[in-house]
Amino acid sequence: MPEIKPRKTLFNPELRRRGIYVLPNLFTTAALFCGFFAIVKAMMGNFEQAAVAIFIAMVLDGLDGRVARMTRTQSAFGAEYDSLSDMVSFGVAPALVIYAWALKDMGRLGWIAAFIYCAGAALRLARFNTTLEVMDRRYFQGLPSPAAAALVAGFLWVMIDKNVVADDVRWLACGLVIFAGISMVSNIRFYSFKDVNLRRSVPFISVVAIALAFAVVSYDTPLALFGLFVAYAFSGYVLALTRVIRSRSAPPPAA
C-alpha cells in the first residue's frame, strides 16, 4: 500500500515556517502603522506629526529588507506585504496629508494633483516588482516612492516649522506633488546606493563628513532632510542631462 503523504495546507506548520517570518515583517508592519498614523493625524489637523510619521516609515522600510537579507528570512509573502505597506505609507498617506493641508481649497485641481501622486506611486511599485530581476541594481527606474514621500512630507514639515500658511504655498505644493508623481513613473534613473559596501574601509575624511552631516541635520532637521531629498530628486534629471550632452558631443563612429 503506498505511503500517504500529508497535504500541504495553510495549516501545515512546515509551510508556515517557509512562508512567513516574524522579524522582517515586524518592521514592515511598523512602517504600515506609521503610514496609517500619518493619515489619522492629518484628519485630526496635526500635520507636523503626520510628516514625521512618514519619515519614520521610510526608515523602517529601509530596515525590513536589510534585516531579511541579514537573517536569510526573505519570502514571497514578505515581498508582497512590503509593497502593500509601501503603497499605504508612501502612496496614499503623503497624498492625503498634503491634500488635507494645502490642496483641499484648490477644488478639482487639488484632488487631481493628489491622485496623480497616488497613482504614480502605485504604478512605480508595480513596475518595480515586475522588473526587479532584469533591472540594474545600481539605479532605480523612476524616483523611488519613499524618496517621493520624503519630498512631499519634508516640504510640509519645513513650511509648518517656519510658520508658513498653507494658502501662501498651495500652488507650490501642487506643483511639487505633480512633479513627484510624474518622476516616479518616468524613465529617469536615480542612483540606488545598493552597491555601497559598508564593510569596506574608508578614508578618515569620510568619517568627518558623516559627523558634519549629523551636525547639520541636528541644527535644522526639517530643512536639512527636505534639502537632501530635493537634491536627490533632481540628481536623476542632472545625470540624464549629462548623458545627453555627452552623447551629442561624442565623435561619430568611424565608417
- Which domains, from first to last, does the chain contain? 13-246 (1.20.120.1760)
* Mean pLDDT, the chain, whole residue set: 85
Q: What is the DSSP letter of 168?
A: G
| Helix (H/G/I), strand (E/B), else coil: 139 | strand
Torsion, Cα 27 33 34 38, to 10 degrees, reads 170
Cα–Cα dist 203/208, whole Å: 9
Q: What is the DSSP letter of 4?
A: P
Query: Residues 235, 190: contact at Cβ < 8 Å?
Result: yes
Predicted pLDDT at 202: 67
Least confident interval from 11-15, 76-80, 156-160, 213-217: 11-15
Nearest in space to 124 (alpha carbons), one of 105, 103, 145: 145
pLDDT at 119 over 70: yes
pLDDT band at 8 (very low <50, low <70, confident <90, very high): very low
pLDDT band at 14 (very low <50, low <70, confident <90, very high): very low
pLDDT at 253 over 80: no
pLDDT band at 15 (very low <50, low <70, confident <90, very high): very low
pLDDT band at 53 (very low <50, low <70, confident <90, very high): very high
Q: 0.75 cut: is pTM over it? A: yes
If 0-12 CB within 10 Å is exposed, 13-18 middle and 19+ buried, where does residue 55 land? buried
How confident is the model over 222-248, as pLDDT tens digits? 999 999 999 999 999 998 898 888 887
Mean pLDDT of 197-201: 67
More confident residue, 214 or 29: 29
More confident residue, 39 or 251: 39
pLDDT band at 133 (very low <50, low <70, confident <90, very high): low
| Number of residues that make up the chain | 255
Which residue in this structure is represented by grid cell 518595480?
128
On the CB side of 150, CA atoms within 13 Å amount to 25
Which residue in this structure is represented by grid cell 530635493?
230
